Amino acid sequence: MTQRALPLRGAHNPSSTRQGTTPGSFANRADVGGPLMFSSPDTPGMPQPSDKTAWDFMPAGWRQEGGRWVAPDGFTPATQLEQARLGVVTPEMKRVAEREGHLTPEQLRDEVAAGRLIIPANRVHLGYQLDAMAIGRATKTKINANLGASPVSSSTDEEVEKMRWSVRWGADTVMDLSTGGDLDACRDAIIRASSVPIGTVPIYSMIIGRKIEDLTEKVIMESLLAQARQGVDYFTIHAGVLREHLPFVQKRLIGIVSRGGSLLAKWMLVHKQQNPMYTHFDEICDIMREYDVSFSLGDGLRPGGLSDATDEAQLAELDALGELTEKAWKKGVQVMVEGPGHVPFDQIEYNMKVQRSVCHGAPFYVLGPLVTDVFPGYDHITSCIGATSAAYHGAAMLCYVTPKEHVGLPKKDDVKQGCIAYKIAAHAADVALGIPGARDWDDDLTKARAALNWEKHFELAFDPDVARAFHDEDLDVDTDFCAMCGHDWCSVRISKEIVEFASGKAEGFERAGVIKSPALTAEQREILEKRGVLPPEEIHRLASKTESAIGVHKGEKASCHSDYVDPEQAQHIQEKKLVQIRARAEAE
Ligand code: SF4
């Protein structure tokens, strides 16, 4: 047999029971407390980690005494970062250690102090039912679900329900991106009901009832303070889009695709001034510090298509985000940084490692990225492929993408599909990175599968109802094969018979005979009935309702198109006619 040299970089086994036949993870050996946490080996030419951390960007007045940092007299720490700098292990760090298993509270404190980990926990939200969690490359990969009412769809109750639904399907944080309805009431209801951190993009509420051109410093500060007081745990602030970056955007195929980025670009062009989020960054930090709201430094110039990835605009903004990371740390505020978007698969590693270098290891929170642009309707898949790679190469949190991305507001089932796609990405990356214990779940399911122990198999499945329904659709008995291959061709059954292979390892499981599987539940029956997508006829039926209501004939542009009407008229059509269509569709 050929002796092969395996790339045994760290070769630490991600299964705590050390079962399985593989040599373990090929990622770098974990270096908790150093810049290479759980990390992939670098392809030649990748930017190296920064030799700086948040310790290099201490606030004015702090001094070192006997190897420890001491705050100025009378100082009261307000954030997890400030507590960590003073050596305090907070209750939230202890809770995160319980949830992460492989890290001690002291390691978590040190990672927070280094700026490589954040615990987004507004002290107001901690007073409700927030269960502390952490985002950083030392911990397991996290996923975020976006929701929020839009001017044409949804309500507060619906969004609270979507929040609960996304947490049910594994969301570690939720962003309320509402742009319509009663934004304050919706945000308040979501925060009070949520056990996971809530993020927002505060500029959305700043422009309700006013044009972006009318945004002032007073409005910015009042909105931020109001949301901080409500208990928002992290703010996306697009302070890195600078006036000097805008000429780079002209070369792009699709310009600026971030809502916040495009709004602020318009403000800068109208006023011929620098981005107000950038010029007032210190004051913004002061508000956020008081309530321990973390930054999610927005990537307003993220690429909106493969053609625009890793371009001058994106990288220039990233440099500004590095500078803002340092400023926020000096102000004692926790920081994560947002990233792209749409990136060809081969450029993902570079994108993750250049951020690690420029932002000194601050957690990277990426949207996808999508690795191809030509599958609208399936972008939860195109993006979770990119997200897996992103997490393996350094991203700490993955913002989900649903099948409705680019084409409409996600409904409940789209939220579920997006969450599941991203749980797959996050978990796959954690196994590959060799996070201790990450593979135990896979090994347990493999044992149940090898034993043809269907009950256990479905109990361990992430979505037991779907797995059971699909099994029972063709064969509603639990026996030693399934409908995929049938009895004679079932390799798992044959393997079990070949005792030398010792297959069938689920402890204490011995199949006595065929068991009639329990009847499908109502939910499982619904899964089978609704399986797949809406038939094309149904999609066309719904589309034709919209066309007739807003007055459009085949091949023409709709009456609300900006080629025909001014913004006020377009808004009227959007708010009145489309809402009517929706109400009618729901009534039918
Ligand atoms: S029949 Fe085929 S798919 Fe089903 S358990 Fe056996 S080997 Fe697996």
Q: What is the pLDDT of residue 103?
A: 95
Q: Is residue 11 part of a domain?
A: no
- Report how far apart, in Å, the C-alpha atoms of 193 and of each of 125, 146, 157 are: 10, 16, 11
Q: How far is residue 156's CA from residue 174's CA, in Å, rounded to a whole number?
A: 15
Q: Is residue 49 part of a domain?
A: no
Q: What is the pLDDT of residue 266?
A: 95
Ligand 1: nearest atom to the Cα of 491: 7
Q: What is the pLDDT of residue 181?
A: 82
Q: Is the CB of 491 under 6 A from ligand 1?
A: yes
Distance 21 CA to ligand 1 centre (A): 21
The secondary structure of 92-141, three-state, reads: HHHHHHHHHCCCCHHHHHHHHHHCCEECCCCHHHHCCCCCCCCEECCCCC
Bridge partners (DSSP) listed for residue 65? 68
Number of folded domains in the chain? 3
Q: What is the pLDDT of residue 203?
A: 95
Mutate-to-test residue for ligand 1 from 456, 479, 491, highest number of ligand atoms within 8 A of CB: 491
Mutate-to-test residue for ligand 1 from 447, 490, 494, 503, highest number of ligand atoms within 8 A of CB: 490
Let me know whether 359 and 469 are in one domain. Answer: no
Residue at which a domain ends, from 511, 529, 547 = 529
Q: Is residue 516 part of a domain?
A: yes
Residue at which a domain ends, from 433, 453, 471 = 433
Contact 274, 305 (CB under 8 A): no
Distance 416 CA to ligand 1 centre (A): 27
Q: Is the CB of 490 under 6 A from ligand 1?
A: yes
Let me know whether 557 and 503 are in one domain. Answer: no
Cβ within 8 Å of residue 294, ≥6 positions away: 118, 120, 233, 234, 235, 288, 333, 334, 335, 336
Mutate-to-test residue for ligand 1 from 479, 481, 494, highest number of ligand atoms within 8 A of CB: 481
Bridge partners (DSSP) listed for residue 144? 173, 399
CB neighbours (10 Å) of residue 218? 8
Q: What is the pLDDT of residue 23?
A: 80
Let me know whether 87 and 234 are in one domain. Answer: yes
Q: Is residue 8 part of a domain?
A: no
- The tokens for 534 are 């809406």
Look at the block and give the residue holding tokens 């043809």: 452
Q: Is residue 14 part of a domain?
A: no
Let me know whether 445 and 411 are in one domain. Answer: no
Q: What is the pLDDT of residue 444?
A: 93
Let me know whether 67 and 121 are in one domain. Answer: yes
Q: Is residue 21 part of a domain?
A: no
- The tokens for 221 are 């500060």
Q: How far is residue 563's CA from residue 566's CA, in Å, rounded to a whole number?
A: 8
Mutate-to-test residue for ligand 1 from 470, 471, 489, 492, highest number of ligand atoms within 8 A of CB: 492
Q: Is the CB of 483 under 6 A from ligand 1?
A: no
Atom 6, ligand 1: which residue's CA is nearest?
490
Distance 420 CA to ligand 1 centre (A): 24
Atom 3, ligand 1: which residue's CA is nearest?
484
Let me know whether 428 and 470 are in one domain. Answer: no
Q: Is residue 107 part of a domain?
A: yes
Let me know whether 559 and 514 are in one domain. Answer: no
Cβ within 8 Å of residue 6, ≥6 positions away: 23, 26
Let me know whether 368 and 416 are in one domain. Answer: yes
Let me know whether 124 and 150 are in one domain. Answer: yes
Let me know whether 579 and 503 are in one domain. Answer: no
Q: How far is residue 384's CA from residue 403's CA, in Å, rounded to a whole number?
A: 11
Let me know whether 366 and 490 are in one domain. Answer: no
Q: Which helix (H) or strand (E) holds 327?
A: helix 312-330
Q: Which amino acid is at 408?
A: G
Let me know whether 215 and 139 are in one domain. Answer: yes
Q: What is the pLDDT of residue 13?
A: 82
Ligand 1: nearest atom to the Cα of 490: 6
Range of the domain at 561: 539-587
Q: Is the CB of 6 under 6 A from ligand 1?
A: no
Residue at which a domain ends, from 391, 414, 433 = 433
Q: What is the pLDDT of residue 112?
A: 98
Distance 449 CA to ligand 1 centre (A): 9
Distance 450 CA to ligand 1 centre (A): 10
Q: Is the CB of 451 under 6 A from ligand 1?
A: no
Q: Is residue 294 part of a domain?
A: yes
Q: Is the CB of 381 under 6 A from ligand 1?
A: no
Distance 503 CA to ligand 1 centre (A): 13
pLDDT averaged over 10-residue windows placed end to end, the chain, 588 residues: 76 78 85 85 95 97 94 97 98 98 96 98 98 97 92 79 96 93 92 98 91 93 97 98 96 94 95 97 98 97 96 97 98 97 97 98 97 97 98 98 91 94 98 94 93 94 94 88 90 80 65 75 81 63 60 64 70 62 56
- The tokens for 368 are 């996808």
Cβ within 8 Å of residue 5, ≥6 positions away: none
Q: Is the CB of 448 under 6 A from ligand 1?
A: no
**For the range 564-570, what are the long-range contacts, defined as Cβ-Cβ under 8 Å and sequence gap of 24 or more?**
none
- Report how far apart, in Å, the C-alpha atoms of 576 and of each of 152, 299, 562 are: 9, 33, 17
CATH number at residue 349: 3.20.20.540
